[in-house]
Structure 1
Amino acid sequence: MILVLLACLAGPADADTTKTVIDNGGQAVNIVKPFIRIISLYSAHTENLCSLGAAAQLVGIDGSDELPPAAAGIPKFSYREDPEKFLAAAPDLVLVRPMIERSAPEFVGKLRRAGITVVSLQPNTVEDMFAYWRSLALLTGREPQAEEMIKSFTARLTRVQNSLKAVDPARRPKVYFESIHGKMKTFAPESIGAYVLEQAGGINLAADAEQVRETNIAAYGKERLLSRGEEIDIYLAQQGRMNPVDLDTIRKEPGFQAIKAVREDKIFLIEEALVSRPTLRILDGIEQLNRIFFPPKVKG
């Protein structure tokens, strides 16, 4: 959970507003002024900061291949590197996500002992995503821009929802959404991936999947999947670093001929960044899936 708090401390002659962000680790960060030398160690942080117009405040980013144009040329950093590299860059804020805080506690601790603010953020639901955008905005002094992002998101989503009103509910496809092929995992029911599927008009066949820890991922299992094979109208898989799968791998998976969508070649891949990362681009994912689920000839 990500919280944004405003505490107003009024004195006799003036009023001072203290802004506080509570990150995923429960740490309260009091913001006296915007951070201006930021290292972002998560591609979603980087993309959202650029969307907020805060690219000029970035002095370092993670080494992701997918970078917004505004982030081109910014030095690359990794939490696996010597913390001294970070100290030499003199950041006032390092943005991480919970996975980094869990897997590299010594790295995070050294930065904090050196006086650098380290904030861990990653939303798991769309409701959390709006709070996450607002947290990034508070940290960077970009509050109006965050509200514009939310307004833009809501307007585009409304257009998709309006288009679905013309679709017969009986035509909504039952979809299995693969998150990690090798482990036969899907998306957690409350995750951003499941949200994208459902807002696009699909029915999540794995809505009963069990969430893995506090992540977007859920266990499903091959036996369980195949037992429901005849119900699956569309087999959907995210494709990217987390799930480097291709259509042929899915087609040739032993036992998958028991899945109706595989037999009928209704298998689709969608870019991971459009369904898993808490950025404005999940709207692109929703619109893309909406076109897959309801091609023009079946709308109405």
Structure 2
Amino acid sequence: MRINVLLFVQCLVFLLVSVASAASITDSEHRTLVFNQPFKRIISLYPAHTTNLLELGLDKEIVACGPSDAGLPGRPVVQFQDDPERLLALKPDLVLIRPMISRGYPNLVRILEKNNVRVVSLQPTEASGLFVYWENLGKLTGREAQAKAMIETFGTRLAEITASLKDIPMEKRKRVYFEAIHKQMKTFAPTSMAMFVLESAGGVNIATDAERMRETNIAAYGKERILAKAEQIDLYLAQSGRMNPVSVDDIVKEPGFYLIKAVRERQVFLVDEEMVSRPTLGLLDGIGFVKSLLYPDYGQEGITRL
């Protein structure tokens, strides 16, 4: 009987210690993941994940990444369209994806998890989720302190970039239409990362009435609504990249756009989508760049890539 009691006590102590040391996160699919130790063999299938993992000081822990990742030359390249066996052959303990992948390729997630590989879907669509996203990456990898440092760095540099904006009265702030997808006449949702960049740079979003599409950072607007505010648009800004392969010429020559004040005054600019849409420290470069377009006569402290 004593042996049984001893075994019971040992099991109870082990259980209590395990519970106490366990960490948990809730991902973008509202799934809760509980784990007892940091993940050490990670496949990253979203460039923002890779950038942030590197910022957290991880390198050898990333065993493979996607074809859009330029920061890890020589690393195995995999895609979510691949046969799951190709990913499993790399013996990952964690695969980081985003909701677009889990919605489009549920079979990949199912097979990976069936083979005891944790799959976590993360992508903040609102600026308010940025720090939680970094904290979650820190928890998953045992780099909580480094994630906290990222957050502190972001706050400090943001304050430096935006310090001179206090000298610009609200009535003199530039009013902006921020294009997300030209062919579909879509803008960004008011709470998106891109609008956080614009407003942090001192711009005024003229499309605050845009309707967000599902759980994305994109919002429907339409040409009629843009032209209805044509005379209010001091500056026309468009993200440029895979999502929106557009040129300034495309925008200027769009039928009816000659009515837009910014088009007439040659205030049409492109900004790399990586600087305004990806949840990384690169958002700071986006804020600095957009600020330089809006207010070239004001100080540009904090801009790192101009």
The answer, yes or no, to whether TM exceeds 0.5 is: yes
2:163 matched to 1:168? no
Q: Is 1:47–1:67's contact at 8 Å kept on the other side of the alignment?
A: no
1:47, distance to aligned residue in structure 2 (A): 0.6
**What secondary structure is seen at the aligned counterpart in 1 of 2:54?**
helix
Superimposed CA distance per residue, residues 107-134 of structure 1 (whole angstroms, 9 cap, x where no aligned partner):
1111111111000001012221100101
Displacement of 1:297 after TM fit?
6.2
Q: Name the SS of the counterpart of 2:60 in structure 1.
A: helix
1:35-46 aligned within 5 A: 35-46=39-50
| Structure 2 CA distance for aligned equivalents of residues 256 and 194 of structure 1 | 22
* Aligned amino acid, residue 137 of structure 1: G
Normalised to the residue count of structure 1, the TM-score between the two structures is: 0.92
My pick for the range that moved more, 163-172 or 188-197, is 163-172
Partner of 2:57: 53
Q: 2:22: which partner in 1?
A: 18
- Give, in whole Å, the separation in 2 of the partners of 1:18 and 1:117: 15
2:37 counterpart residue number:
33
Distance 2:299 2:208 in 1: 25
* Structure 1 residue aligned with 2:66: 62
- Cross-structure match for 1:227: 228
Contact in 2 for aligned 1:209/1:219 (Cα 8 Å): yes
1:72-93 per-position Cα deviation (integer Å, ceiling 9, x unaligned): 2211110101111011111000
Cα offset for 1:27?
1.6
Give aligned-pair identity as a percent: 49
Report the residue type matching 1:276 in the other structure.
Answer: S
Structure 2 Cα separation of the partners of residues 124 and 11 of structure 1: 41
C-alpha contact 2:45 2:96 (8 A) present in aligned 1:
yes
How many aligned positions are there? 287
Q: Is the 8 A contact 2:164 2:299 kept in 1?
A: no
2:16 & 2:236 partners in 1: Cα distance?
60
Q: Which amino acid aligns with 2:257?
A: F
The equivalences for 1:235-250 within 5 A come to 235-250=236-251
Matched AA of 1:36: K
> Normalized against structure 2, the TM-score is what?
0.90
Q: C-alpha separation between the residues in 1 aligned to 2:14 and 2:185?
A: 62
Counterpart in the other structure of 2:198: 197
Inter-partner Cα distance in structure 2 for 1:37 and 1:138: 15
Q: CA deviation at 1:161?
A: 2.9
Q: Kindly report the root-mean-square deviation, in angstroms, between the aligned alpha carbons of the 2 structures.
A: 1.7
Q: Which runs of 5+ in 2 are unaligned?
A: 1-11, 301-306
